[in-house]
Amino acid sequence: MANLNLDPPVARVDNVTARITFGPEETPARRSLNFDLHWIKDEKFSTRVKDEEGFPSFALVNKATGQAIKHSVGATQPVQLIDYNPDVLDESVLWTESRDLGDGHRTIRMVNNIRLNVDAFNGDKNHGGVHDGTTIVLWEWKKGDNQRWKIVPYWVLLGRVRVG
């Protein structure tokens, strides 16, 4: 089971670091620059591996640990973290983003089963929202805020973050 600290997950797009945020809310804690919370969006196989809608694949790799987010064993189950080897094509760590949902957010789903989406378990408003320690699972699309993600360049955020 992977309990991901959600303050702030970060990814890399090409040579630019990008950040994954939950919904429109931006908190000071999410703006922190803690390296163990940075995620690299590795698009090495994006031209060779695409989902059934033609969207390119990527792996999400923790910058500090070198571990990638791996698909769970099935719907409603937590994702896993495994050591990542960028030289080995492993579809179990490949994800795709959906089309824009209209506000810049997208779903993140398994490359080989786009019906299962990355979901912050019980992170909807009825359960108190997303918080530190929220378990990340795969779930069918329910149109919840806890299934909507945005990857933005990290350097864009630096202009809004006050350090010191």
Domain count for the chain, please give it. Answer: 1
Mean pLDDT of 11-23: 36
pTM: 0.75
**32: pLDDT strictly greater than 60:** no
CATH label of the domain that carries residue 128? 2.80.10.50
Residue 164, in any domain of the structure? no
- The answer to whether position 116 is within a domain reads yes
Q: Average pLDDT for residues 122-147, to the nearest whole number?
A: 87
pLDDT at residue 75, rounded to an integer: 94
Q: How many residues appear in the chain?
A: 164
**Contact between residue 123 and residue 22 where contact means Cβ atoms under 8 Å apart:** yes
Query: Does the residue 1 lie in any domain?
Result: no
User: Which whole number is the average pLDDT over 11-25?
Assistant: 37
Hey, which bits of the chain come out as E strands?
10-13, 16-22, 39-42, 59-62, 67-70, 80-83, 95-97, 108-110, 113-120, 136-140, 149-153
Q: Is residue 78 part of a domain?
A: yes
Residue 149 within a domain: yes
Q: Does 111 reside within a domain?
A: yes
CB 109 within 8 A of CB 98: yes
Domain around 109: 10-158
Which among 57, 139, 53 has a CA at the least distance from the CA of 93?
57
| Residue 62 amino acid letter | N
Q: What is the pLDDT of residue 23?
A: 37
